[in-house]
């Protein structure tokens, strides 16, 4: 299967730690990328490859992966982290990209 599965919604108290997960068989062979999408805006890359963080992304964002699961962790969540988060990876053919269904993060 080339599908990526995410929990639809997660919440975290301000300043606490939250983990957002993404599961898929293709993650055994390919890295996951993570995109943050605030309401009404285009997505922004926040984590990619082997847990790499793009320039300008705060170091409270980190990534990890194990077997068929990739995770995005926010340590010390801030109000501005409230957004939809999408994982994305190659499908099993390697020629196409697939997105997870997205996780809506609410910061309480």
Partner 1 sequence: QVQLEESGPGLVKPSQTLSLTCNVSGVSVRGDSYYWTWIRQPAGKALEWIGRIYISGRTNYSPSLKSRVTISLDTSSNQFSLRLSALTAADTAVYFCVREAYDTAWYVFDYWGQGTLVTVSS
Would you tell me which residues interact with partner 1 (CB under 8 A)?
Answer: 31, 33, 35, 37, 42-45, 48-50, 52, 54, 86, 88, 95-102
Q: Between 42 and 79, whose beta carbon lies closer to partner 1?
A: 42
CA angle 18, 19, 20 (to 5 degrees): 125
Q: Between 24 and 102, whose beta carbon lies closer to partner 1?
A: 102
**How far apart are CB 57 and partner 1 at their closest, in Å?**
12
- The C-alpha atoms of residue 21 and residue 107 are separated, in whole angstroms, by 17
- The C-alpha atoms of residue 32 and residue 25 are separated, in whole angstroms, by 12
């Amino acid at each position: 299967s080339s599908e990526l599965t995410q929990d639809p919604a997660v919440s975290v108290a301000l300043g606490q730690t939250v983990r957002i997960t993404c599961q898929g068989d293709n993650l055994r062979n390919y890295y996951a990328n993570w995109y943050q999408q605030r309401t009404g805006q285009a997505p922004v890359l926040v984590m990619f490859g082997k847990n790499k963080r793009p320039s300008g992304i705060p170091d409270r964002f980190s990534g990890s992966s194990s077997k068929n699961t990739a995770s995005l962790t926010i340590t010390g969540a801030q109000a501005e982290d409230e957004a939809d988060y999408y994982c994305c990876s190659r499908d099993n053919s390697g020629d196409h990209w697939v997105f997870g269904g997205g996780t809506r993060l609410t910061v309480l």
